[in-house]
Structure 1
Amino acid sequence: MKLLAMASLAFLLGAAACTGRDAAATASDERAKAPLTEVTIASANGRHVFRVEVADTPEKQQRGLMYRTDIPKDGGMLFAPYPPDGGGPREASFWMKNTPSPLDIIFIRPDGTIARIAENTVPFSEAQVPSGEPVSAVLELNGGRSAELGIAEGDKVSWNK
């Protein structure tokens, strides 16, 4: 019985380790296939251009930047349209589950202005990060990047739609 229990434990530990590697491999595979777009933010101190992945399906939006540790300095992910079902702008709520890198989550109104910036969100947190009002897109950047560049609420965001 003890041998069976040890064998079961070894199997479970091996399966858990594979799951972590599989999740990271899946994230890497998805990144390789993800379409990219340029996002420009016009702020008081100039234009800032980011080359980001586009999460334009429910599956991509659900995964987001989970498991990612290699986000380029001027990279990130654009959730557009948000939500992907075409139901029009609505309040959004994001979390950092399975996300090892701090992010700035930028909530974008239908007119393209920034409604809210949740700066340096806590890695792996399951706390909800709400938009506070209806939005039509969300941009995730490396944590602290918004403050570093002087990006603020009210700034204008544009991209190829």
Structure 2
Amino acid sequence: MRLFLRLLAPLLFASFAGAGLAQEGPQLDLPRTQLAAGMHHLDVQLATTPLQRQIGLMNRKEMPQHEGMLFEFEEAGVQCFWMKNTLLPLTAAFVDDAGVIVNLVDMKPQTTDSHCSAKPVRFVLEMNQGWFAKKGIKAGYQLSGQPFRR
């Protein structure tokens, strides 16, 4: 049995690493879309698969102020995020299907505190911490862009 486990362990690790679970650098090659928050235009990466959402903005050392990441889920639910292996301070905007921000949460880097939506949502937009506050964007604000058109 020990021999079987010794032979199986490298195969399991290789398959997980090949699936991206052992990713060491940031994911920079995701599809992008444009969003607008009033007169402010955003260039956001789209995290639409479970693996892309799991990795999110981990291991990223910097991000331009007009960029972010939009997490899209298959169906609305209470979405909770944490910041394990995430180096940047971020703000998460929990957004409903119509593009309305339900709530905003500031998140501290490299923590495992859970930050959740106030009600079920399908979208979460992560931006550099302070971006929403500097623009005067709060809960109830309407975002626009292709993901919110149904």
Is the pair's TM-score, using the shorter chain for normalization, greater than 0.5? Answer: yes
Where on the TM-score scale, by shorter chain, does this alignment land: which range? Answer: 0.7 to 0.9
User: Which residue matches 2:36?
Assistant: 40
* Aligned residues of 1:65 and 1:77 also touching (Cα < 8 A): yes
Please tell me the residue identity of whatever aligns with 1:100.
L
Choose from 126, 137, 140 the match for 2:112: 126
Choose from 40, 43, 61 the match for 1:51: 43
1:135-158 C-alpha deviation (Å, 9 max, x unpaired):
010000001111011111100112
Task: State whether structure 2 residue 87 is matched by structure 1 residue 100.
Answer: yes
Structure of higher CA gyration radius:
1
Shift of residue 110, structure 1, vs aligned partner = 2.1
Shift of residue 61, structure 1, vs aligned partner = 0.3
Q: Which has the higher helix share?
A: 1
* Aligned residues of 1:71 and 1:142 also touching (Cα < 8 A): yes
Task: State whether structure 2 residue 127 is matched by structure 1 residue 141.
Answer: yes
Please tell me the residue identity of whatever aligns with 1:136.
R
User: Which residue matches 2:103?
Assistant: 116
CA–CA distance in structure 2, aligned partners of residues 34 and 110 of structure 1: 21
Report the TM-score when normalising by structure 2: 0.79
Question: Tell me, what secondary structure is at the counterpart of 1:61?
Answer: helix
Uncovered stretches (5+) of structure 1, i.e. residues with no partner: 1-21
Question: Tell me, what secondary structure is at the counterpart of 1:89?
Answer: strand
Uncovered stretches (5+) of structure 2, i.e. residues with no partner: 1-21
Report the TM-score when normalising by structure 1: 0.74
RMSD of aligned residue pairs (Cα, Å): 1.3
Matched residue pairs, number? Answer: 126
Please tell me the residue identity of whatever aligns with 1:154.
G
CA–CA distance in structure 1, aligned partners of residues 113 and 96 of structure 2: 22
Question: Tell me, what secondary structure is at the counterpart of 1:39?
Answer: strand
